[in-house]
Structure formats: C-alpha cells, structure tokens
Chain A
Amino acid sequence: MANSHIQALNPSTHKDLKLNVDPLFTYTKTIQFTPLHVNEFAPASTCYPIYFIKDRATGKLFSVALFGLEEKENLFYSDTQWRASYVSESMQCWPFTMAKTSDNQWSPHIDTSSPLLSNDQGQLLYKSGRPSETLNTTLQRLQQSYQQKLQSMAFVEWLLELKLLKPVRLGMKYLSGEKSIINGMYSIDASALQQLPPDALSLGHKHGYLAPIYALLASHYNLYDLIRLKKTFSKRPISSLQLIESE
C-alpha cells in the first residue's frame, strides 16, 4: 500500500489503540465514491447510483456507490445525519480494511490516521493481547467482505469477457449556465445484455449475476436523488443532468 497510514493490524503495535464510533461517517466527507461489493448491489440500489470506476494505480475496474457529482463531493454526508438508509460494508468496517501486505497477501489493516482512533478515549482494540469483542466482529466482517471482494472481481471479469461494460458520460448543467462532463465511470450495457446468447445468460444466472446486474441498472434512477440533494444542499446547484451517448 502506498499510503503509510494503512498498517497491517498487529496486537503488539496497536495494543494501546482505542476505537470510537462515528455515526456521521465523517471520513467520507470529501469522498465521491465508496467501494461496493456485488452482494451489496441490491440493498445499495435503494439509495445510490452504482457504477464501475478504474483503480488509478492498476487500471482495474471495481464497483462503487456514487455519492457526489463532482470531485470530492459527498451529498449524503451532513453534520447531523447520514442521508441514506443503507451504509456499505466498507464504511461500517472503517478504519479497518483488507489490504495487501508486502508479500502480496491480503490481511486486515488499519488506517492509523483515522480520528476514530486514539490512545485516550474509546474502546481498547485489544484486551491483554486478545481482540476485543467489537474488533472480533469487525474482523469477521472483513473476512466475509474479502470473500465478497473476490466474487466481485470474478463478476467484473465475467462482464468484461462478455463485453457487457461500457463507458458512461454524464453532462451536467449548472444554474449559472456553466457546463461540465462527468467522465471515468462505466456501466452495464443494457442493449448488449439483451443480445446475450441463452447459454451465457443461463451461466450468469447460475453464478447469481443477473440480480446484481438488474439492481445496478435500476440504481441509476437514484441520480434523480443526487440531483435533488445537489439542488438543495450544494453551493453550486445544477439545473440538469443528462446521459451523453458514447461517441
């Protein structure tokens, strides 16, 4: 991991750390996306538009819930309460996350820069060298989430192989008259999906891929909610948002 704040969880290094809870998820205040696993598509689709974006370091695609319409914008964050009913696994686990160690193995890590961690107040992560009950629950959650991550990667590979993904561009018009374009997101190509041969379709069904595909397609109607939130809360309200058909 390039980020040195992200450290592999270790009972001796982190024995004095105490954890606090933040129902506002303040760490997401300037985060435009959060990673989402394929098993979360159905519940997340009730609140957020779901897309794929590319990892800057590797170029690989992964799925995310969209929180804002410009860089560093999170329209679901407020200083009184989170403006949606579903909260993603990765947000619930934070400041814990799965990351790769130097020998390329996935293991539980912790973001030591998180304000949720301190030496003075909160619940101790470890009690006499053993994980606390809260930490244990989180570790189990991370383990499950890692399995989901692998399944999500397989899901993306399947979509790519069948050429079911396409770039999406959204054109945004501000009330001021200015225009901008949201680039770099990818979605499932609904017309390519319609053309899919029956055997590919039945394989997708067998893997449980069809439900998340339809959840993702339906989730895009949440863009209306993002427009509403942006009109209500943003300093730069918009007048319209449109899908731009690819070149």
Chain B
Amino acid sequence: MNKSVNNIIIVGGGTSGWISAAILAKKFASIQGAPKVTLIESKSVPTIGVGEGTWPTMRNTLKRIGITETDLITQCDATFKQASKFEGWVTGDKSDVYFHPFNSTKGYPRINLANFWGQDSEIDASFSRAVSCQESLCEQGLAPKLISTAEYKDLANYGYHLDAAKFASLLKNHCLTKLNVKHIEDQVVDVKTCIAGNISAVVTQHHQTVHGDLFIDCSGFSSILLGKALDVPFISKQHILFNDSAITAHVPYASEDQSIPCFTRSSAQPAGWIWDIGLPHRRGVGYVYSSQHCSDTQAKKQLQMYIGTQSVPTEFRKISFKAGHREVSWKNNCVAIGLSAGFLEPLEASALMFVETAATMLADQFPATYESMPSCAKRFNHAFIYRWHRVIDFLKLHYVLSQRSEQYWRDNREASSIPTSLQALLEDWKHMPPSDIDFASQLDLFRAPSYQYVLYGMGFKTNFAAAKHTLDNSELANKFFDLRQQEQQKLSIRLPKHRELIDKIHQYGFMEI
C-alpha cells in the first residue's frame, strides 16, 4: 500500500505530546505538502508533572523549535542545572558525597584522563574535581554563563530545572500560535483499527472521529494506543530497578534572595533516594522508593525529616509507577513517545531526554509512505530497545556500588538483580577504566565520562597500576589538567551567582547572538 503519510495525530498533551508536536511541526514548517500535525488532549486528564530536570540536550531541542531561552527561564520558572550531587549513596556518612557534572572530563574525547588520574596520587583524590571545574562552580553557587552570553551558549555545560506544568503550556502556546499545530480538546474514548492492524482513527467524546495516517501515543502511563489498542506488552524491569513510588512536595525558601543550588541534590535514603531541585520561588523535592521496602507513611515521614522543621512543605502528592518499557515503541502506524513507551525512575533525569531523542529521530527519519513505515519502525525500535537496555544498566550502577546496609540496598546488590551486561562491564572496568571502546554505538546516551563520574565518585577500584602501559601521552594529559585548573580560576572570577543571573534574565533577557 503506497499511501503517503499526510496526517499525524498525537494523542495526549503533556510535555511529551507538545515536544513531539513542536519538533514535527517545526521540521515540516517550510516544506510544501508536508504532513499536518494534530494534537488531541483531554481537559480532564491531569499531567504527571514529574521530571522537573532536563539534560543539556534540551537547549538544542528548544533552539530547534524556536523557543527563546529567555521565554523558557521567565515563563517556566526555570533555573540552570550543571550537575547531580549524590549524597550518602556509598556509606551514608556525612562526608559521603560525589558530583556527576554535565561537563565531560577535560580533553574528552581526545584523551581519557581517568587513566592518568588513577596513576597519580598527587592529583585531587576526587575524580570529578580532578577532571572538571564544574564541581567547584556548583559548590560556589555560580551560574554556568553570563548575562552577555548568547542564548543557549554556555561557559559551563548545563540543562534546566523547571516547572513541568508551565513548560507544557509554553510548548503548547508555541505550537498553536507559531507552528500551526491543530488542537482538539476532547477525550479519546475509542480507537479504530483496520484489518492490517493499523490504527485508522480515534473516536473522541464530543467531536467527530479523527482519522490519521500516523498516530503518536503520548497518553502517559495508560498507553491507550500502543499498549491498549495494539496490545504491545509491557516489559517490567522492577526486578532490576525496585523503585515504584514517589512522594513529592513543594518547599518554600526561607527568604526571597536565598541562593539557588545549580545542581540536583540526590540524597540516598533507607529505601530509595530524595531529589531536591531549586526553582526561583520554591524547591521541588520527592522521595522515590520501593513499596516492597517502605510503606507510604514511612516514606512521607522520611521526606518530612529531610525537609526539616524550618520550612513548611505544601502540595504533597503520591505517584505510583512501574519500571519498564513496552516491548517495542513503534508498531504498525503507531509510535509511543514518553511514559506510554516506558518509564524508569528519574535518577538521571532521562525521561524528557528520551522524549526529545524519540521525537527528533521520528522527525529526521519520517516515513513518507506506508510502504516505508516497517523499515522506519524497525530502525526506531532497534535504537530504543538498545537505549532502554543501556540506561537501565547505568541507573543500576548507582545501586550496585553502594555499601549501605539497609535491606533495600542489600537486595539491590543481589547478583540476580544485576543485568549480566552490567556485570560484564564491571568486570572489565576492574582492569581498565571505561573508555570509548565500551560505548562504540552512536545510540549510546551515557558515555565513558558519565560512567567514570559514578564509578570513581563511588570509590570503585580499577587496577590502574596494571593499565600503566596504556599511558602514551602524559604531556597532553598534563596540558588538560592545567587547562582545567586555569578554567576554574577564570570562571570563578567571571561567573555571577546563580540567582543573580536568573534575576537578570527576568530583567533584561538573553541576546540571540
């Protein structure tokens, strides 16, 4: 059937739906006869609104769809995120802290500094401090850029913290006013399929039946197209990643001008971990835990204890989820993007990044006809099955390296809960630090530096002495260690405090150049 793909129907209007709509509509905006994008969202379905952290990839995504960085910061209560700070993940002691910065290790990919760090006892004992200036910038409370830095450009790598609900409405507004996306406000009550198994239309409660050629399922956990209508099974990963619940809250600042951390705090707890994100007017916190190891009441108590008695939290919410993903993201003429395709705990804030990556891949390799759809689907599914698999390994790594003694943490170290692929990598890394050889695929989203930050931040032992023969360019390594040092000194003087920059953006905005 050589029918062309003219109508894209997106079902669901959370961040996933609107990001997908924006990326597709922008891609097609200047092409004559390109497919039309329609988004159907129901007023009555609340969005999950978790995932208040983004990756640096969001900068490119927003630039691509034509939203200014000033609008993002001012309309979504956004702040900058330069790193994650992990507290208490190894032993739970007060001094047990490490950073996973967004900056790559200095000189990467030209040189793998981990090797040299491991050899030289005179270099800073903290891996992230030795190979990147960003831990120091974070500790000093500095922003990653100046008011005179062009929008989306940086002096230190960054993503965002933001109010997810406001982010969705900014995207929606942009899609409707600038990108010509058609909007239907109604609830989908039925899905029509034809003999070939394709979806032919969705039936809405008050409007007519909406026909389409390609359907994008952004319906969240309910996965009404891919999961329900097309019966694609859910592959649970709960035996690897135990967390299935979260209690979230908003915490006010003690004063209006209190400093805003420029990183996500992630603090290990008896049965999970607590995230702590600084927005301009409040903090967003949440305890992610395993209901097998901790009751909701206990979890709430734990979160209260973390918040302390100084501030009064509001808007407590409980969220339940299942770690895992659909067997495939694309079946016939239906692609799932966002929670409908799968969900893993927010430990490395990868949810929105998965949405960006999926929507971008769909836009870049868009099937022109029904005939080309199976091969597009095959490629897409191959990429995302691979990515789910690798992200699960990376998230699990944070748990297997812990030495905490609570039942939850001991269970997390049970060999039966660790994927064999991760076990094999850990075996390799005993002898050699992670390098590009371990992440040869272009599809890899976490690469050697990320693994190194977590491994060496958590005290993993590589037998560096045995890897001595791989040190072939100490001169270059020393140059990069020096450069890192100079960069830290220069930026410490130049960069403003995080809140100061946020205030200035509200007042003056960024320039496009």
Contact = CB atoms under 8 A, between A and B. Distances in A.
Given A54-B148, A55-B148, A60 B508 contact: yes
Nearest to A184: B148
Given A58-B508, A59-B504, A60-B508, A186 B513 contact: yes
Nearest to A60: B508
Nearest to A186: B513
A187 B507 CA distance: 25
A59 B513 contact: no
Interface stretch (A28-36, A159-167, A222-230): A159-167
A10 B507 CA distance: 29
A93 interface: no
A61 interface: yes
A167 B148 CA distance: 12
Contact of A58 (B147, B150, B512, B513): B147
Contacts of A186: 513
Q: Which of B147, B150, B510 counts the most chain A CB atoms within 10 A?
A: B147
Interface in A29-64: 54-61
Contacts of A55: 148
12 contacts: A54-B148, A57-B147, A57-B504, A58-B147, A58-B504, A59-B148, A59-B504, A59-B508, A59-B511, A160-B511, A184-B148, A186-B513
4 closest A-B pairs (Cβ-Cβ)? Answer: A59-B147, A54-B148, A59-B148, A58-B508
Nearest to B509: A59
Contacts of B512: 160, 163
Contacts of B513: 160, 165-167, 186
Contacts of B147: 56-59
B418 interface: no
Interface in B372-424: none
Contacts of A60: 508, 511
Contacts of A59: 146-149, 504, 508-511
Nearest to A163: B512
Interface in A166-193: 166-167, 184, 186
The B interface is mostly helix, strand or loop, or mixed, namely: loop
Contacts of A167: 150, 513
A186 B511 CA distance: 12
Interface string A84-115: 00000000000000000000000000000000
A59 B496 CA distance: 13
Interface string B474-513: 0000000000000000000000000000001001111111
Contacts of A57: 147, 504
Nearest to A189: B513
Contacts of A160: 511-513
A184 B510 CA distance: 15
B148 A56 contact: yes
B7 to A, nearest CB: 34
B508 A61 contact: no
Q: Which of B148, B150, B508, B511 counts the most chain A CB atoms within 10 A?
A: B148
Contacts of A56: 146-148
B497 to A, nearest CB: 14
A70 to B, nearest CB: 16
Contacts of B508: 58-60
Contacts of B509: 59
A198 B152 CA distance: 31
Given A59-B146, A59-B147, A59-B148, A54 B511 contact: yes
Interface in B109-168: 146-150
A141 B148 CA distance: 30
B261 to A, nearest CB: 23
Nearest to A56: B148
A129 B511 CA distance: 45
B502 to A, nearest CB: 13
B188 to A, nearest CB: 42
Contacts of A184: 148
Contacts of B511: 54, 59-61, 160
A55 to B, nearest CB: 7
